[in-house]
């Protein structure tokens, strides 16, 4: 079973999963944790972690993925947190920066990607990347 924890995509990953007929057999739930408070309240991400690293960071993405599993009846999760734009970027975290985390088979993996394009393009690229990496890890031999 899969759980999602999304910020910048606002539920696009969960929606893409549930577009597939039969997804109730493998999709458990999705968390849209757009605000910092939601990340803390819904997923258990420590507020101090967000304060120290920012919402768009590796530690927060990993905590979101792990929190999704802790608050769901799932064995795998994917989390995304990023800056879709057009505003909100900085020199350290420009628009298009997205942190991903996946928990599969007891292992948490994370990755930062910077996507080009407008808000819609960044969100769609985030969706595709999140699911492509998840599929690859689920299909990889143990």
Quote the CATH superfamily of domain 2-139. CinA-like (3.90.950.20)
Per-residue pLDDT tens digits for 1-57:
999 999 999 999 999 999 999 999 999 999 999 999 999 999 999 999 999 999 999
Spans of all domains in the chain: 2-139
Alpha-carbon distance 91 to 27, whole Å? 37
Per-residue pLDDT tens digits for 57-71:
999 999 999 999 999
Alpha-carbon distance 138 to 89, whole Å? 32
pTM: 0.96
Edge-to-edge strands, sheet with 2-6? 27-32, 2-6, 76-82, 97-104, 107-114
* Whole-number pLDDT of residue 105: 83
* Whole-number pLDDT of residue 142: 57
């Amino acid at each position: 079973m899969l759980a999602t924890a999304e910020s910048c995509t606002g539920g696009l990953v969960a929606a893409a999963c549930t577009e597939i007929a039969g997804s109730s057999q493998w999709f458990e739930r999705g968390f849209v944790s757009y605000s910092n408070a939601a990340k803390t309240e819904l997923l258990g991400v420590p507020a101090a972690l967000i304060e120290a690293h920012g919402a768009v960071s590796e530690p927060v993405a990993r905590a979101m993925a792990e929190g999704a599993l802790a608050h769901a009846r799932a064995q795998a999760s994917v989390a995304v947190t990023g800056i879709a734009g057009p505003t909100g970027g900085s020199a350290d975290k420009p628009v298009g920066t997205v942190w991903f985390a996946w928990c599969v088979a007891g292992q948490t993996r994370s990755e930062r990607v910077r996507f080009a394009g407008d808000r819609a393009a960044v969100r769609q690229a985030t969706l595709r990347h999140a699911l492509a990496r998840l599929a690859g890890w689920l299909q990889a031999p143990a």
